[in-house]
Amino acid sequence: MSSVAMFWVTSASTDPSNYYMFSNGNPDPSSSARALTKPTPKLRRGSKNGVYLKYSCLGSSERSYSLPILSSLVANPAGDIAGPSEQKVYNVVLKQAALVNRQLRSADHALDVKPDMVVPGTLSLLSEAYDRCGEVCAEYAKTFYLGTMLMTPERRKAIWAIYVWCRRTDELVDGPNASHITPTALDRWEARLEDVFQGRPYDMLDAALSDTVNRFPVDIQPFKDMIEGMRMDLRKSRYMNFDELYLYCYYVAGTVGLMSVPVMGISPESKASTESVYNAALALGIANQLTNILRDVGEDARRGRVYLPQDELAQAGLSDEDIFAGKVTDKWRIFMKSQIKRARMFFDQAEKGVTELSAASRWPVWASLLLYRKILDEIEVNDYNNFTKRAYVGKAKKIMALPVAYARSMIQPSRTSSSLVEA
């Protein structure tokens, strides 16, 4: 029950047969190359139209119960970690930030893109693979795709390749063949990922990612962690507390930020630490995921899933039975207000990092952030009825948000040193 986010981006589900076939729950890599020439299908009815991310954190309710208070919204510096999940995520952040810092030491903090790697086949096939990745992005993340056109060709293609891998991974457990997927199939998918990072792609779409990770300082751990999030979806349908949900949010959403920042790049003018920019990316992934959870409560309930902290539901005087009943009550409204407040706090934290990205990357990130944040407004407009009404942002509001996003993307990074994370 996760849907891919491109860093701070939106996406939608698609039929995985575009990329590979399944046999007894196992991906068949041999069929992916053929997919490059296949037309991209339209969204199936009822598919999720956006990143499928989930979480909860700061704030307090309007009644007597309260939510966990953290010193930071996301991964905190050592000594300020609020729980074991945050410590685990923070370690990954540090590792990825270290990789990027090594790369940033050259050429006045500009990413040093490596020459093309040699992959099976010809350069024309690799170009075709990137083109196919771009087609998928254009079909299912239109706004973001337009934003990627502002990036340099190298960054643009790399983002497309990461996007497609995330979609393929997500579809393993959330697509039409999900009932056939087993933990063994995910193990094989992870082994295949390791081959991709070693320069041994299985198909042309893998080749695009293999080329990308060779050219940019991208670590394999966030990719492996996303697969772990898919494993959680196979075995888990309840989250007892914040710590459990936080880790799931990182796995299925925060990971995308860690994958994408090295490609999007940090502005040479930025004085913020690399670690703090990654924390902002992580915050946006969590905000998007929580937004999806709040939007899709009813849909998830019909699948027997509840992606809300059980202890917080109990504190609010609610239970799974109330969710399955699908009735909006005063208790539910109060509970939802606190959850929406949390999501907005994560969006606030994320906004601090967008300005630090390279100039060409800021506009698509701002656009997706502002548009996704508006979903929370629509939940309120629906009087917190996320049981039978699906909150969505209309076309007119989307169009109106784009110039605002563009204007914000013109804001230059602060020239004073900042951690972006408030203790």
| Three-state DSSP class for residue 3 | coil
Residue 331, classified by CB atoms within 10 Å of its CB into exposed (0-12), middle (13-18) or buried (19+), is middle
Between the two ends of the chain, the Cα-to-Cα distance in Å is 33
Question: Looking at 11-25, 156-170, 199-213, 227-241, which range is the least confident one?
Answer: 11-25
* H-state helical runs in 242-394: 242-249, 255-264, 274-295, 297-301, 310-315, 320-325, 330-354, 359-381
Mean pLDDT rounded to a whole number for the chain: 78
C-alpha distances in angstroms, 161 versus 6, 28, 134, 173?
Answer: 11, 19, 8, 20
- pLDDT at residue 159, as a whole number: 95
Residue 417: pLDDT band (50, 70, 90) is low
Between 419 and 315, the more confident residue is 315
In this predicted structure, the answer to whether residue 404 has a pLDDT above a threshold of 50 is yes
Model-level pTM? 0.76
Residue 200: pLDDT band (50, 70, 90) is very high
- pLDDT at residue 19, as a whole number: 36
Scanning the structure block, which residue is given the tokens 């991709």? 196
pLDDT (tens digit per residue) in 232-277: 999 999 999 888 888 988 999 999 989 999 999 999 999 999 899 9
User: b vs e for 35-67, b when ≥16 Cβ sit within 10 Å of the residue's Cβ?
Assistant: bbeeeeeeeeeebbbbbbbbbbbbbebeeebeb
Nearest Cα residue to 283 out of 241, 250, 240? 250
- pLDDT at residue 69, as a whole number: 33
In this predicted structure, the answer to whether residue 37 has a pLDDT above a threshold of 50 is no
Between 6 and 366, the more confident residue is 366
In this predicted structure, the answer to whether residue 65 has a pLDDT above a threshold of 80 is no
- pLDDT at residue 122, as a whole number: 57
- pLDDT at residue 251, as a whole number: 95
- pLDDT at residue 25, as a whole number: 40
pLDDT (tens digit per residue) in 120-146: 455 778 899 999 999 999 988 776 787
In this predicted structure, the answer to whether residue 41 has a pLDDT above a threshold of 50 is no
A 10 A CB-CB count for 314 gives 11
Residue 58: pLDDT band (50, 70, 90) is very low
In this predicted structure, the answer to whether residue 71 has a pLDDT above a threshold of 60 is no
In this predicted structure, the answer to whether residue 4 has a pLDDT above a threshold of 70 is no
| pLDDT above 70 coverage of the chain, percent | 73
In this predicted structure, the answer to whether residue 60 has a pLDDT above a threshold of 70 is no
- pLDDT at residue 420, as a whole number: 56
In this predicted structure, the answer to whether residue 171 has a pLDDT above a threshold of 90 is no
pLDDT (tens digit per residue) in 337-376: 999 999 999 999 999 999 999 998 898 899 889 999 999 9
Mean pLDDT value across residues 161-178 = 89
